[in-house]
Amino acid sequence: MPNRLANETSPYLLQHANNPVDWYPWGEEALERARAEDKPILLSVGYSACHWCHVMERESFENSQIAAQMNEGFVSVKVDREERPDIDSIYMTAVQAMTGHGGWPMTVFLTPDGKPFYGGTYFPPEDRGGMPSFPRVLEAISDAYRNSRGDVLQTTEHLLQRMRQMSAVGQQGFEPLTEDVMRLAMRKAASDFDDRHGGFGLQPKFPQPMTYEFLLRHYLRTEDSDALHMVELTLQRMATGGIYDQIGGGFHRYSTDAFWLVPHFEKMLYDNALLVRLYLHAYQITGNPMYRRVVEETLEYVIREMTSQEGGFYSAQDADSEGVEGKFFIWLPHEIEEALGDEDAEIICRYYGVTPHGNFEGRNILRVAMDAANLAREEGLDAAEFGEMLGRAKARLLTIRNERVAPGLDDKILTSWNGLMLAAFAEAAGVLGREDYAEIAERSAEFLLTNLIRDGRLLRTYKNSEAKLNGYLEDYAFLIDGLLTLHEVNFSRSALDAAIELGNAMVELFWDAATGQFFDTGHDHEQLVVRPKDLTDNAIPCGSSMAVDALLRLAVITGDGDMERRASVALRGMRQLMMTFPTAAGNWLGTLDFYLSRTKEIVIVGERGDAGADALLAEVYRHYIPNRVLLGTEDSGAEENLPLLAERRKVDGLATAYLCENYICRLPVTDAEAFARQLVS
């Protein structure tokens, strides 16, 4: 018989709806029962694409004896970390304080008032590899709560104090912000770089796109070739490795080895959104066609497999299919031979490194094992012939692969992650001149603004025509970024106005005047044991760094000095983190680069579709100019309420570009070549 999770919309929670565990979703009903029965809460946090979450479910939550033990001694609560990043952040901090590490699945034991006293991650069904069995943990925790209550309560107080200390980063902020911060961050990042295979550290290796975005900015600012080398080596190794889906496009979550070969096979929307923009920026700087190909293949994957009919973007695809991690993506030689025929299969197997013994559990993860030009020459093919054959082979293999049992799809639509992908499509439209991408971005924005705002309040998640949960700081900040990026492409005044309105609401809901930082939850949020404030950039930028970036851009657009002041205060509070742990502050560093730059303020007056306006806009996107603010407007003659647009009109009836920098404005120009000279001078 289904448990209470059957009434939820989260695919992850619904996966557990038929467990014999008497699961509750997070909420007052579960907390009230824990208080009424004086039972500890067993909080289990995970997400749908998490391999070990599925393993723990099969081993423990579907085990009737273990479920009975859980039901007898605990009120069990299941949380989707992607829907409730606040719950995840609070109790992950507790687990890290207790154990020194964290991860998912996360298992935390709480008092009935939500205070943590013990926790960990994955627990096996029996003692294994130095880990206690889950039944043994359950028995020990139940006994401690019944018979050693004083010790439990003392532990909770120590933990809460430690959690508050851990969240205190960013509260200092009196030293000046200078370029020395970025130079020290660059030096520290370089010391952790793998100069042989790319990436930071040894293994596992995560993409960390925000860190490479900072390196690109550093290269632009200083012409330090080492910074560009680190970016290019990593992007090329990822694009030719197994972390990149060579057949279907898009990136898997991370590499389990140092070589980018064996990935954790789930695909996350946010990784692909952030990597699209990183590869776009590398393409702007270098013109390397590989980077453009990766962008287009990745966005094609998102269109094909991750876009709803309504225009929203789905969250993730699982690593597993048919209960086996990676089964959907790996190949045996005979499968390729049957698909392509012997002659083409031999060449393709050489290109992708496919062998009878395989490189992953007897099968093959496809990777680019040979240089295309060298292979073509060896096979007596010219570049065009090889390219055509490779294209046919990839299309055929994709068709064959699509006949397999596909990994599970997490089809909930999260506002923050959709904001990231909205920005990716919009910027790709501008850089690559792809009007179809602009149309997808416009449809995404319309979907979000229509369905994820209720009574002026942005919401977090949408599925089955139902939007719910108050939006977090990251939802506001990421959507503002997406809307501003969209405005730059299509000059939409509605997108610009929505971004400004959301920016004002974001400050009102989340700003913490006492510390000069942002909370992750609004002042209208439910009261939790602590009010979370995650200030480090991890797999995605933290809400705070994106919020500060948004405030700086909005301050230029609106002339609102208060927005710039708040951004400055928040940045000063992160000075030490940026210098000491740059890979945990990549977006902060990019935002600092904007703050310290001579921002280019660009206005193009004209209508999209007009040849003159489009030519001027193309010049902006032809260059990598991260520290700019771009507005587009028609020459309506109406009085503008935005200082950046005031008195901006066409010259001689032609589309006109206005460029100001460092409080100095250039003469307006109507010629694209003249505008290009202004942009690079």
Q: What is the pLDDT of residues 407-439, one digit of tens each?
A: 999 999 999 999 999 999 999 999 999 999 999
User: pTM for the whole thing?
Assistant: 0.95
Report the DSSP pairing between strands 600-605 and 628-633: parallel
Which of 122-131, 137-146, 584-593 is the least confident region?
Answer: 122-131
Could you tell me which CATH number the domain at 600-680 has? 3.40.30
Which CATH number does 179-321+410-596 carry? Answer: 1.50.10.10
The sign one gets for the Cα dihedral 90, 96, 98, 101 is: positive
Whether the CA torsion 404, 407, 413, 419 is positive or negative: it is: negative
H or E element in which residue 162 lies: helix 149-166
pLDDT at residue number 33: 97
Tens digit of pLDDT for each residue in 59-89? 999 999 999 999 999 999 999 999 999 999 9
Region 141-167 average pLDDT: 87
Q: Among residues of the chain, what percentage have pLDDT more than 70?
A: 98
Interatomic CA distance for residues 207 and 255, integer angstroms? 8
Decide which of 496 and 638 is more confident: 496
Q: Which of 153-162, 248-257, 593-602 has the lowest mean pLDDT?
A: 153-162
Report CA torsion sign: 484, 486, 488, 491: negative
Tell me the pLDDT tens digit for each residue of 300-335: 999 999 999 999 999 999 998 998 999 999 999 999
Residue 167 confidence (pLDDT): 64
Q: CA-to-CA distance for 655 and 616, rounded, in angstroms?
A: 8
Q: What is the pLDDT of residues 341-358, one digit of tens each?
A: 999 999 999 999 999 999
Domain boundaries along the sequence of the chain: 4-166, 179-321+410-596, 329-403, 600-680
pLDDT reported for residue 680: 87
- Where is pLDDT greater, at 172 or 508? 508
Same fold across 4-166 and 600-680: yes
Mean pLDDT, to the nearest integer, of 279-295?
A: 98
For residues 44 and 79, the answer to whether their CB atoms sit within 8 Å is yes
| CA proximity to 544, closest of 555, 535, 552 | 535
Residue 171's pLDDT is: 58
Query: For position 168, what pLDDT does the model report?
Result: 60
As a whole number, mean pLDDT of residues 166-190 equals 82
Distance between CA atoms of 499 and 522, rounded to whole angstroms? Answer: 18
Determine the average pLDDT of the residues in 284-289.
98
Residues near 535 by beta carbon (within 8 Å), at least 6 away in sequence:
167, 169, 170, 517, 542, 544, 545, 574, 577
Whether 578 has a pLDDT exceeding 90, the answer reads yes
Q: Is the pLDDT of residue 398 over 90?
A: yes
In this prediction, residue 681 has a pLDDT band, given cuts at 50, 70 and 90, of confident
Give yes or no for residue 172 having a pLDDT over 60.
no
pLDDT of residue 165: 73
- Report the alpha-carbon angle 64-65-68, nearest 5: 85
Rounded distance, CA 585 to CA 475, Å?
19
Can you give the pLDDT at residue 99?
A: 87
- How distant is the alpha carbon of residue 556 from its chain centre? 26
Q: What does the angle CA 212 – CA 96 – CA 24 come to, to the nearest 5 degrees?
A: 105
Residue 21 pLDDT grade (very low, low, confident, very high; cuts 50, 70, 90): very high
pLDDT tens for each residue of 22-73 = 999 999 999 999 999 999 999 999 999 888 898 999 999 999 999 999 999 9
What's the pLDDT at 323? 86
For 8, other C-beta atoms within 10 Å of its C-beta total 19
Say if CB 340 and CB 348 are below 8 A apart.
Answer: yes
Residue 166 pLDDT: 67
Q: How is residue 250 written in tokens?
A: 């898009």
pLDDT at 589 over 70: yes
DSSP 177: P
Q: What is the pLDDT of residue 288?
A: 98
What is the per-residue pLDDT for 133? Answer: 94
Average per-residue pLDDT for the chain: 94
pLDDT tier at 160, thresholds 50, 70, 90: confident
Q: What mean pLDDT is predicted for residues 116-143?
A: 92
| Fold entry, domain 4-166 | Glutaredoxin (3.40.30)
Return the pLDDT at 282: 98
pLDDT higher than 80, residue 170: no
Q: Tens digit of pLDDT for each residue in 441-477? A: 999 999 999 999 999 999 999 999 999 999 999 999 9
